[in-house]
Structure 1
């Protein structure tokens, strides 16, 4: 049907910021909380990365469990949002935020993951957080699982590799939906579910007993299948409890370009993009796409499904799509490539600038991604993460002057506006991040994303003082003008 497309952001557009419990909360052993997987990943002390998200073993996890300190585990410290949440939410509110995305730490509600009853102190904490948000007119956006499986479940049955995780997750999801559905209208099931293709941090499953890449892919896709079923059942329950609430999926979106006009490179790029869209095909369309049959065959993957799994996935898709977007990729086919995305390599894009961590800066890729998702699914899209990790220097006046971050956000907000003019239904834009926090990928504080500087360093030293950066005041003007004042 012909209609005039909007020229700017909708009137009730959800501007704001996004965080994750494992990167901000701290208080890892307070008020009944036990360790999550993320709290068992070592971090940077002197700028080098001591560990990564996807090489955990049962031995390294046990060593972490036996370590009673946070010295080597930055995500146990976070930035102490647990004790600073009122101050942080007040600052975010003064910025003008309409929405604030947080995640709930599963191990704060069910400390070991398999308890029959929840931890009341954990439930009370998030109720206070949501109440504070509402006092400032901020809409909570809640991620149910943001790299936060209780490590007890990994040690008990190897995380999402076991079908038992579905039942334990649903007990947790139902508990928090029952507790907060009157306070929270926007929910997300699994953060960046497609990153489970790389392993442990999303699936909570160790792989040291496996020798080949295909064996690892088998375990990862089996774990992801269990998450698809769990997501659909959580969506079903949310709709039963409160039909006014909305459940979304969450995709790490990074569009892939072909390295050259060579059709082989174009095919490799198409297949890389399909590997990402596979996840939204399942969670939005409600079915495994046919193109993945070739991928599964090429990699000897055989997914075990219960009789009604595909019916559940089909009957209870998500209501909207949420994405993170940071960068784009370029891929080139290797000699002799014949299978599905099985023999290609990522290469540098000479046309784009990069962050200090070598992530390309590509706002046009965001516009293309939004158009691609809207054309494919025709469901509202929520940008729930967009930002750049970089180093900041506090000026002589005690303030971080960060024109580079402003330039990044300006270009991506402009790209979002162009996508809306293209006809895409975008319901919100949340920066990653309103406050500095421990980096997900490197566990560093020195890789900073926030609009608010927190005096905390890689070794855990610092005063925790919160100070708005120049980008904070710039984004304040953006929100106040509903995206019209970008300079």
Structure 2
């Protein structure tokens, strides 16, 4: 509808906050009945550019199970949010958080994933977390599956490669939807669901021994099972708690053509389609036509059960959430130099700076992503991850002056505001890592994102004391002014 003006500010009910994942913060991996998850059998990387989440084998899992400690598996210790949740949420409230994105550890509620009844002690922990959020008027935004599942489901079913896991997942989702009816208003199904294309991190399926063609077949079949599980969960929530909403979550891999050559433009278009395929299914409720050719040319044949097509249509999400960290360039020449980041692989952009970890920094790309997603889907958008991983050092005055983080976030928030002026329906922004946590890709601690410093090094040494950084006080002003004071 034509209007004579456009929005100049963030909506009054905008959800400012921060985002975390259970396997990166909770710790207490064997407490109160919880059993191992897929995230807790992945060894820490030997360097900051080694991505270990897809190199899991049957042998490496046996080795991990035989090792009861946390030294080689830092996600087992996290930052001990399990025992610090009250302190941490209080600090979030001091910044003025409107929302706190967290995930549930499936194995804390169903330790093996196979149980018929949930673990009451696991649910009791989240009862306390949500009660603390309510105390400080913070809305929990809850991810049902964030790069982890009960390890037993990998051992018994090879993760999401087996359709039987859908039943186990939807038993879990029904329990938590009923338990937290009226308490949690915002849910998400799978974190960065396109991570399934990277293997074990997203599917929980061991496939390192397979050929690349076999891996592709397994991964897309696994993600089909996730699509069905997501659709069932959407229907469950709408029936159990009609006042709550549920979204999907994509790692947005914004890409540009390396040159104006039509072949490079086409390469960028293909990469874009492969990224948006996942949200096409979850938001539009059907497989997009362009995947027919891709599947045929790559030897992928998906098994659909009777009723799957209808389920996908019936279980479309209410909103689209996504992570945004960087952009890449695409070229028809596959020999172009690669830059890595958040399992995105593409060419480096000579016009952009990079973080210490080689992730290219592109605030304008966020505005582009927001506009493209809004134009394509016309559902509310939610930025649920965005941030800068950096090495933070305590200065001589005993403080952490992270101006580089403030600069990064400021520039991205400026572009968000411009996108809202473009007409984008943006419901919130939760920065990644409001508190320092264990890195998803490398399991290191020195890659810090937080507004709050946690005294712990890569080897787990430290007091675990929490300390606000300069960015803590800056973000507090941003939220208090609803994005006007940057």
Query: Please, what TM-score do these two structures have when normalized by structure 1?
Result: 0.96
Task: Give structure 2 stretches of 5+ with no counterpart.
Answer: 336-343
In the comparison of the two structures, how many residue pairs are matched? 477
Distance in 2, Cα, partners of 1:461 & 1:418: 43
DSSP-derived class of the 2:484 partner: coil
Aligned to 2:445: 445
Tell me the CA shift for residue 345 of structure 1. Answer: 7.6
The question of 1:404 aligning with 2:390 is answered: no
Q: Confirm or deny: 8 A CA contact 1:43 1:49 kept in the other structure.
A: no
Task: Give structure 1 stretches of 5+ with no counterpart.
Answer: 337-343
The question of 1:11 aligning with 2:12 is answered: yes
Distance in 1, Cα, partners of 2:463 & 2:227: 42
Distance in 2, Cα, partners of 1:116 & 1:379: 36
Tell me the CA shift for residue 62 of structure 1. Answer: 1.6
Distance in 1, Cα, partners of 2:245 & 2:182: 12
Distance in 1, Cα, partners of 2:316 & 2:35: 32
Tell me the CA shift for residue 433 of structure 1. Answer: 1.6
**Change over 3 Å in CA distance of 1:262–1:368 after alignment to 2:** same
The question of 1:290 aligning with 2:274 is answered: no
Aligned to 1:94: 94
Distance in 1, Cα, partners of 2:203 & 2:43: 18
Tell me the CA shift for residue 44 of structure 1. Answer: 4.3
Distance in 2, Cα, partners of 1:183 & 1:442: 34
Aligned to 2:27: 26
Aligned to 1:157: 157
Aligned to 1:223: 222
Aligned to 1:261: 260
Aligned to 2:243: 244
Q: Confirm or deny: 8 A CA contact 1:26 1:76 kept in the other structure.
A: yes
Aligned to 2:135: 135
Distance in 2, Cα, partners of 1:68 & 1:195: 28
Q: Confirm or deny: 8 A CA contact 1:193 1:202 kept in the other structure.
A: yes
Tell me the CA shift for residue 248 of structure 1. Answer: 0.2
Q: Superposition pairs for residues 309-320 of structure 1, below 5 Å?
A: 309-320=308-319
Q: Confirm or deny: 8 A CA contact 1:332 1:345 kept in the other structure.
A: no
Tell me the CA shift for residue 346 of structure 1. Answer: 2.3
DSSP-derived class of the 2:353 partner: coil
Tell me the CA shift for residue 473 of structure 1. Answer: 0.4
Distance in 1, Cα, partners of 2:345 & 2:241: 46
Query: Please, what TM-score do these two structures have when normalized by structure 2?
Result: 0.96
Per-residue deviation, residues 135-161 of structure 1 (Å, max 9, x unmatched) = 000000000000111111001110000
The question of 1:179 aligning with 2:179 is answered: yes
**Change over 3 Å in CA distance of 1:50–1:197 after alignment to 2:** closer
Aligned to 2:466: 466
Aligned to 1:377: 377
Aligned to 1:299: 298
Distance in 2, Cα, partners of 1:462 & 1:33: 25
Q: Confirm or deny: 8 A CA contact 1:232 1:317 kept in the other structure.
A: yes
Tell me the CA shift for residue 48 of structure 1. Answer: 5.7
Superposed structure 1 runs of 4+ greater than 4 Å apart: 47-51
Q: Confirm or deny: 8 A CA contact 2:45 2:52 kept in the other structure.
A: no
Tell me the CA shift for residue 181 of structure 1. Answer: 2.0
The question of 1:194 aligning with 2:194 is answered: yes
**Change over 3 Å in CA distance of 1:128–1:120 after alignment to 2:** same
DSSP-derived class of the 2:246 partner: strand
DSSP-derived class of the 2:361 partner: coil
DSSP-derived class of the 1:27 partner: coil
Q: Confirm or deny: 8 A CA contact 1:331 1:345 kept in the other structure.
A: no
Q: Confirm or deny: 8 A CA contact 1:31 1:121 kept in the other structure.
A: yes
Deviates more, 1:48-57 or 1:250-259: 48-57
Tell me the CA shift for residue 5 of structure 1. Answer: 2.2
